[in-house]
Structure 1
Amino acid sequence: MTAPASAPGDLAEIPVVLLDLDGTIVDSGPGILDALARAFADCGEPLPPQSLLRTFLGPPLEDSFRDVLGLSEDRSEQLRRTYIEHYRASGIHSAALYPGIADLVEALTAAGRTVAVATNKLETTARRLLGQQGLADRFALIGGTDRTVGRTDKTAVIGSVLERLDVPAAGAASEGPGTGAGTDAAADVAPTARAVMVGDRLHDAEGAAAHGLPAVLVGWGYGGAPERAAALPFAESVDELAGMLLR
């Protein structure tokens, strides 16, 4: 669903833009899927179909291992650790920037906006990946998960990024993304919103909603029918996203 006409102007007024990484800034799917296949093989677990594995792209992997595959906490953690080893060794090198993203980040910065990354990828890995892409210094902050401090999901990552940027959130939303407001959800962008989250999966919008922030979903990443059915601003292309965020 595309955003109502009133959404672009509202979103263009918000000073801070948070971007998801996997499926929004970079196409990291091939490297992630390869590392997952290697992890399943090493751990002696049957490899799920590719169609199911693709739904693991974005949300915390241990949640998918546990909630989708029904694995125990210990087994899920073993798979997660093994995956990380393979991804850091090889998968990270296959990520490719989506066309137009670097130009969009540059245009937002030139317009005086603060642009930061909020990803479920480990923060150290996210910094390394964006460094390899030559984009690390384009962002005010690269924020990701860090299990040593209990930052393990998108809600916690967004909260950490807002805190480190000294950006006040609008407060917790009373309803989840795309609920209760029908197709007018995009027009409900609070005039006091200080940041907007851009991502390809519903958990990006859910994390934003937990902090009272609006969200935009994009169509070039790893989302599917649930993302397209949500009553949220939706950008099919980077150019369409730029039209929403910039005047």
Structure 2
Amino acid sequence: MRTVVFDLDGTLADTGHDLIAAANRCFSGLGHGDLLDPEYDKSTAFRGGRAMLKLGFERLNGVADSAEIDAQFPIFLEAYAADIDRYTVLYPGMADAVESLLKSGYQTAICTNKPEALAEVLMTNLGVRGLFGALIGADTLPVRKPDPAPYNEAVSRVGGSLKKSLLVGDTSTDRQTARAAGVASVLVTFGPDGRGVADLSPEALLDHYDDLGDVVQRLIG
């Protein structure tokens, strides 16, 4: 069974503003105000909560103490869960493109480094959870991307064939995951890194979800 697996943040939805807001809640709680910018720091947001906290503390102190990051991470998760979709939007054409894949006989799944429960809530709130047969989060397995195990599990849960699958993502983590799993990667160019993701040498670039069907057909039939 042909399967298309998607990353979430920066691939299916633009979640950057809400992620940055949650990180800034941590810094404000410590009396430092907002240290991160929703637009300028969006690429860091798509690399996860710890990456945002690290960046903020580096701006504040020149270095980031791992213990300080560990202490703030649960606070970040709580703040994000409390206001998970205030600004988040699906990328244009995403839902229609995934529905088209399903109608063409493909299986679809999500493999994200966002905690599974948060990913489930977000996709449900955005009204698109039903488009994906499985969702693997950062804590579904003992390991996360770029380890290939979460990707393999996503394919397995929808009854897919690894050899007839690919990963759609937006960062080097997704590129590394696909390489480790031995599958093709498609990197979107509408994220904060733009066409700079071409430097990661994916098998294909995706400029708009209108082109997804053609790209998938070319890579896995």
Q: Which TM-score band (shorter chain)?
A: 0.7 to 0.9
Q: Indicate the SS of the match to 1:196.
A: strand
The answer (yes or no) to whether the contact 1:154–1:203 under 8 Å persists in 2 is yes
1:19-168 matches, cutoff 5 A? 19-44=6-31, 47-50=34-37, 53-63=41-51, 65-66=53-54, 69=58, 70-146=63-139, 149-155=141-147, 156-165=149-158, 167=160
The offset of 1:63, in angstroms, is 4.8
TM-score, normalization by structure 2: 0.82
Q: How far apart in 1 are the matches of 2:112 and 2:181?
A: 15
% of aligned pairs identical? Answer: 25
Q: CA RMSD in A?
A: 2.6
The answer (yes or no) to whether the contact 1:60–1:152 under 8 Å persists in 2 is no
- Which residue is equivalent to 1:209? 179
Gaps of 5+ in 1: 1-13, 170-192
Q: Indicate the SS of the match to 2:112.
A: strand
- Which residue is equivalent to 1:238? 209
Q: How far apart in 2 are the matches of 1:39 and 1:17?
A: 36
**Cα distance, 1:99–1:52 mapped onto 2, change above 3 Å:** closer
TM-score, normalization by structure 1: 0.74
- Matched AA of 1:18: V
Q: Is 2:199 aligned against 1:229?
A: yes
The answer (yes or no) to whether the contact 2:187–2:197 under 8 Å persists in 1 is yes
Q: Is 2:5 aligned against 1:18?
A: yes
Q: Which has the higher contact order (CA 8 A, sep 6+)?
A: 1
**Cα distance, 1:81–1:128 mapped onto 2, change above 3 Å:** same
Q: Indicate the SS of the match to 2:114.
A: strand
Task: Report the more deviating stretch, 138-147 or 114-123.
Answer: 138-147
Q: Indicate the SS of the match to 1:17.
A: strand
1:147-178: per-residue Cα shift (whole Å, max 9, x none)? Answer: 7x533444353243234345454xxxxxxxxx
Give aligned pairs, total.
Answer: 210
**Cα distance, 1:48–1:164 mapped onto 2, change above 3 Å:** same
1:32-58: per-residue Cα shift (whole Å, max 9, x none)? Answer: 111111122224567545366323222
Q: Indicate the SS of the match to 2:113.
A: strand
Gaps of 5+ in 2: none
- Matched AA of 2:47: P
